[in-house]
Structure 1
């Protein structure tokens, strides 16, 4: 896991990125504009997805330790712009309030409980920072005005994705492999894939040679692991098939 961000910093980032998300939505020509990075979604669909997610994770955090999550609210968000933005702002505040009330160490259900990221309110806050960050990029792309991501947040986003989405005790179904991720800003990560699962770690000088590596800015790496950029958009070295296998892999735990 990367250097641990303070819980208060994560809550501030959720709030800041949510404000940027609302601004991007408000600047778009229409709620019906397609979101090219989320095929078959309109901007309205994106807002509903993110707002519903904020409300669901608020309920998860409030419930505390549980063997299963609460049911998602299936209600439709309002379709008029001002009402939709207000609904999203309320959704975001529900999440922030639940996180503040819980505190960072409160356990709760998470879908990543078998991996590296903790199944706590802190883990949820970190995940939601990057969910909002990437969907803000999606909204800005739809509005035609993409803004640079904060470098330190993008760096943590790469580490968070490896800790949460690429961390599992499920056996890797291919030949053992190692992947190196190199950010131009000077941070690097290692992902080991073998019969014990997939495990991320900081990349040190004595690490085994990479089966494959990818190099780009922290923002490019974050968009790559989230599926917004492809291998053609970054510098790939080594066995490209390792990335293809990782992207297609759906581990069963």
Structure 2
């Protein structure tokens, strides 16, 4: 990791974003509305996905080194349809996840699908992944409810880096000519992705880099995060250099 948040901060922010998600759901006039950024889902479907997913990850974290895949969810796996019960079910989903993360401790082993990436197979790595899945789905819920808000800068900066580490790195060979791609957040953070036969690796942009990157993407952290997750068009960002590299990156889906 390049700029780790403290484990306690991850837990605090998971709780904070989960509360924001519940607030968006409570404010929505109708749970049958489609989610524009997940068009195959209604808002209720999004709630079901987020809640049962956190329950499954709570069980996975608790299983530690014995887990060979994502575990079956803890508790009731079906979201209620009545609003008050639904809010309580979501709150319990968050509590189960946070309790499991706290009990396991940040250095404990944890199964993850990202084994070929730079993100460690630890409870810390799982907590960081959980924070940003919740954060992006909170934006989805706010958008569906008609009141989208920017992802807070602290979360968006860490989320961009976590995406590039977890989803953007692998030991599988890059199938095109070797390249260097830089990402810049206007809030002052930058990352460099090295693409080669050895795979994709992420690091900081060297202050004395002898050559410029082959392509760059720049913008506010919120827009960078949402563009990486496909929530807004990637060309919302300022793109320079060989823009085809970004198309190739999004088409590339090596088994991780």
SS in 1 for 2:41: coil
1:43 match: 43
CA distance in 2, matches of 1:70, 1:250: 20
CA distance in 1, matches of 2:138, 2:244: 30
Q: 1:67, CA displacement in angstroms?
A: 5.7
CA distance in 2, matches of 1:88, 1:35: 18
Any idea what the Cα deviations from partners look like across 1:12-57, whole Å, max 9, x if unmatched? 0000000000001111111011110112111011111111110111
1:239 match: 242
Name the TM-score, length of structure 2 as normaliser. 0.95
Q: 1:176, CA displacement in angstroms?
A: 1.1
Aligned 8 A contact 2:184 2:190 in 1: yes
Aligned 8 A contact 1:2 1:156 in 2: no
CA distance in 1, matches of 2:181, 2:6: 28
> Which aligned runs of 4 or more in structure 1 are off by greater than 4 angstroms?
none
**Structure 1 runs not aligned, ≥5 long:** none
Q: 1:66, CA displacement in angstroms?
A: 3.5
CA distance in 2, matches of 1:161, 1:66: 26
**Structure 2 runs not aligned, ≥5 long:** none
Q: 1:76, CA displacement in angstroms?
A: 2.7
Q: 1:232, CA displacement in angstroms?
A: 2.6
**CA spacing shift, 1:67–1:95, aligned 2, 3 Å:** closer
* 2:231 corresponds to 1:228: yes
Name the TM-score, length of structure 1 as normaliser. 0.96
Aligned 8 A contact 1:168 1:197 in 2: yes
**CA spacing shift, 1:67–1:100, aligned 2, 3 Å:** closer
1:27 match: 27
Q: 1:178, CA displacement in angstroms?
A: 1.2
2:102 match: 100
1:57 match: 57
